[in-house]
């Protein structure tokens, strides 16, 4: 029997949680598996792949939104929080998914999108009827400015002002995303009460928790133009915790683009009773341009990336918890961004997985990452479906950029890179659908697909299986203290994890060529090689030559060092 509290090298004793040794798998339902031939993935399709997910070893599925929605932002615009979008299935299908997943030891996380609703939500339809409608105050309305324009300079993440005039009532409403995603007014206690009731309704159906969309925005103070980390953010989360999941053993993860390590502790420190963890994006944005963001990336900088990872590992070493990820439905494919999908596809995809999966935190795998799915190469804007990409295309072209230049950038950064259909096999439409897919497939499904990789013991897929399994077997991966080495080395990432007598050394080469280096004396050791993307065996000598994108992890028990 393992004790429920564990003394680690880090100062605090960690209370064990079931999700500490778990790996989460994110499904973007629209693009995962289509069971009825309409070209759109659905819940029965997901159910048909549960055995596949079980064999990968994951414990939790995060489902991107499956609720009723006009799909302006592919479901992140909800018009009925208790309904399932007909293209995805029915509530009965959802209940079946929860129970079939549970039989396989897998819990379901729902995506809670409560910063905003769809403009087709009945609350908004009521609210826009008149200024004195009882639902008016569910949303954020302001009079035009003194010159008759938008109330202030807040902008939408999808481009343009965050305000749209509602001509019938003569006021503007706020939308930090598309104009079809009006922001809810969290200052209204009735809104909060409705949301908590809805959350409990889903918790009672047996879900394992929530991923919380743009949760750092709910405390906004519009007139002060404060959007992230508003003054009431944490009191709302504490109230939500108290009113809903606080008494249940579930996992909650908040999406917080603004999170610093200090803020992450406010969200996830044990005694604050808010969330289990947040997604922070500092490693993602580390090479974004200060002005143009992801649309203009800076050259890759491993020293900077290592510093960001190290900072987060240490900041949450004694309290709080990290999420670990390279990708999601909003980000380009990791192997295209940080690896070399053309020349070292298998090696670099495995290397990237090794580096994040052996850190301290809960790893998240985005669908298709486990087979090294890559960015897509579209040549015309019509091939893109994502509202953000299409809006940005319009705005950039209006500002004078050529459409070709924009598309070249979008092929690197657009959210659609992550949204092409899951590649199950080399068959027509990669086995995703028998119909016509809602977005084009990546043509490389002929070679990059699940069927081939499951059968090949040296595949990326089998490497993911191994990593996910190792976390369940070795406590040093779950709780070991993190320390980085050779911080200034431009090509190689080395860190150790230490727990009692166990020490794990993780070594990774981020370059498409051989790198020779001298290993610090403290790290020269013999041990067991837990995982390697070449054929490394159990020793780290003084001088070591790493092959292109080589990564491995060596475990030693102190008495054998």
Helix axes 261-268, 302-315, angle to 10 degrees: 30
For residue 186, the minimal CB distance to ligand GLC (Å) is 15
From 183, 255, 340, 370, active-site residue:
255
| Number of neighbouring beta carbons within 10 Å of residue 51 | 11
Please identify, using beta-carbon distances, which residue of 20 and 415 lies nearer to ligand GLC.
415
Nearer to ligand GLC, 284 or 465 (CB): 284
Instruction: Using CB under 6 A, pick the residue from 84, 214, 376, 530 that binds ligand GLC.
Output: 214
Q: How far is the CB of 109 from ligand GLC (least distance, A)?
A: 13
CA distances from 214 to 153, 224, 259, 321 (A): 20, 19, 11, 18
Within residues 215-274, the interface with ligand GLC by CB under 6 A covers 255
**Residue number with CB closer to ligand GLC (32 or 495):** 32
**Cα–Cα distance for residue pair 401/2, rounded to 1 Å:** 60
Closest contact distance (angstroms) between CB of 263 and ligand GLC is 17
We find the least distance from the C-beta atom of residue 294 to ligand GLC, in angstroms, to be: 13
Determine contact, residues 505/496, Cβ cutoff 8 Å.
yes
Across 280-367, the runs of DSSP E, i.e. the strands, are 288-289, 293-297, 323-324, 362-366
Q: Which is nearer to ligand GLC, 263 or 494 (CB)?
A: 263
Among 34, 72, 213, 370, binds ligand GLC (CB under 6 A): 213
How does DSSP classify residue 211?
Answer: E
Beta bridge partners of 366: 26
For the chain, give the number of residues.
561
DSSP sequence for 496-561: EEEETTEEEEEEEE-SSS-EEEEPPGGG-EE-EEEEESS---SEE-SEEEEPTT-EEEEEEEGGG-
- Count the site residues for ligand GLC by CB under 6 A: 9
Q: Compute the distance between CA of residue 476 and CA of residue 553 in angstroms, rounded to an integer.
A: 12
- Least distance CB 213 / ligand GLC (angstroms): 5
Give the residue with the Cβ less far from ligand GLC, 330 or 347: 330
Question: Contact with ligand GLC (CB under 6 A): which of 330, 340, 370, 475?
Answer: 330
Q: Is 255 a catalytic residue?
A: yes
**Nearest distance from C-beta of residue 415 to ligand GLC, angstroms:** 7
Least Å distance, CB 212 to ligand GLC, is 10
Enumerate residues 101-140 that contact ligand GLC by CB under 6 A.
113
Q: Residues 19, 76, 485, 495: which binds ligand GLC (CB under 6 A)?
A: 76
Nearer to ligand GLC, 217 or 505 (CB): 217
Instruction: Give, as ranges, the residues between 166 and 195 that touch ligand GLC (CB under 6 A).
Output: 177
Closest CA to 439 of 22, 74, 136: 74
Residue 62, Cβ density class (10 Å: 0-12 exposed, 13-18 middle, ≥19 buried): buried
Is 63 a residue that touches ligand GLC (CB under 6 A)? Answer: no
Catalytic residue status for 213: yes
Closer to ligand GLC at the Cβ: 34 or 213? Answer: 213
Q: Does 73 participate in binding ligand GLC (rule CB under 6 A)?
A: yes
Give the whole-angstrom CA distance, residue 292 versus residue 297.
8
Enumerate helices (H) and strands (E) in the chain, giving the number of each: 16, 26
- Residue tagged active-site, from 42, 77, 213, 369: 213
Q: Give the active site residues.
A: 213, 255
Q: Which residues bind ligand GLC (CB under 6 A)?
A: 73, 76, 113, 177, 213-214, 255, 329-330
């Amino acid at each position: 029997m393992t004790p429920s509290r564990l003394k680690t090298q880090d100062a605090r004793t960690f209370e064990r949680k079931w999700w500490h040794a778990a790996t989460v798998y994110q499904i973007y339902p629209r693009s995962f598996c289509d069971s009825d031939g309409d070209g759109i993935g659905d819940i029965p399709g997901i159910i048909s792949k549960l055995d596949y997910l079980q064999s990968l070893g994951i414990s939790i599925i995060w489902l991107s939104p499956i609720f009723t929605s006009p799909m302006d932002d592919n479901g992140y615009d909800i018009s009925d929080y208790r309904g399932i979008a007909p293209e995805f299935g029915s509530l009965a299908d959802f209940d079946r998914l929860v129970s079939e997943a549970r039989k396989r030891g897998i819990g379901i996380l729902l995506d809670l999108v409560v910063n905003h609703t769809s403009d087709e939500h009945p609350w908004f339809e009521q609210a826009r009827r008149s200024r004195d409608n009882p639902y008016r105050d569910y949303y954020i309305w302001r009079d035009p400015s003194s010159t008759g324009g938008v109330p202030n300079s807040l902008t939408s993440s999808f481009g343009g002002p965050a305000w749209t005039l509602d001509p019938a009532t003569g006021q503007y409403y706020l939308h930090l995303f598309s104009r079809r995603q009006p922001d809810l007014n969290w200052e209204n206690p009735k809104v909060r009460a409705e949301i908590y009731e809805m959350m409990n309704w889903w918790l009672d159906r047996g879900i394992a928790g929530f991923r919380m969309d743009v949760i750092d925005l709910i405390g906004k103070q519009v007139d002060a133009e404060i959007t992230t980390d508003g003054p009431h953010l944490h009191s709302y989360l504490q109230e939500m915790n108290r009113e809903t999941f606080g008494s249940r053993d579930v996992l909650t993860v908040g999406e917080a683009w603004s999170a610093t390590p200090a803020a992450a502790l406010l969200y996830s420190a044990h005694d604050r009773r808010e969330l289990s963890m947040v997604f922070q994006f500092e490693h993602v944005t580390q090479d974004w341009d200060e002005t143009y963001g992801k649309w203009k990336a800076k050259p890759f900088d491993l020293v900077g990336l290592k510093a960001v990872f190290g900072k987060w590992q240490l900041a949450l070493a004694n309290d709080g918890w990290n999420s670990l990820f390279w990708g999601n439905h909003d980000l380009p494919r990791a192997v295209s961004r940080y690896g070399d999908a053309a020349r070292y596809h298998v090696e670099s995809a495995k290397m990237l997985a090794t580096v994040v999966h052996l850190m301290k935190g809960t790893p998240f795998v985005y669908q298709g990452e486990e087979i090294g799915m890559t960015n897509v190469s579209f040549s015309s804007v019509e091939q893109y479906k994502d509202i953000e990409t299409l809006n940005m295309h319009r705005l950039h072209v209006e500002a004078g950029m050529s459409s070709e230049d924009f598309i070249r950038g979008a092929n690197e950064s657009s959210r659609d890179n992550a949204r092409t259909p899951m590649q199950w096999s080399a068959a027509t439409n990669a086995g995703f659908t028998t119909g016509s897919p809602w977005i084009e497939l990546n043509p490389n499904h002929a070679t990059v697909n699940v069927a081939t990789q499951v059968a090949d013991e040296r595949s990326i897929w089998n490497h993911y299986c191994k990593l996910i399994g190792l976390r369940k077997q070795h406590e040093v991966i779950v709780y070991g203290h993190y320390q980085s080495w050779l911080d200034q080395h431009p090509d190689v990432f080395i860190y150790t994890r230490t727990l009692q007598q166990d020490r794990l050394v993780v070594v990774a080469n981020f370059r498409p060529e051989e790198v020779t280096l001298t290993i610090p004396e403290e790290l020269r050791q013999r041990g067991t090689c837990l995982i390697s993307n070449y054929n490394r065996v159990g020793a780290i000598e003084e001088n070591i030559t790493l092959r292109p994108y080589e990564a491995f992890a060596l475990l030693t028990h102190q008495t054998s060092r």
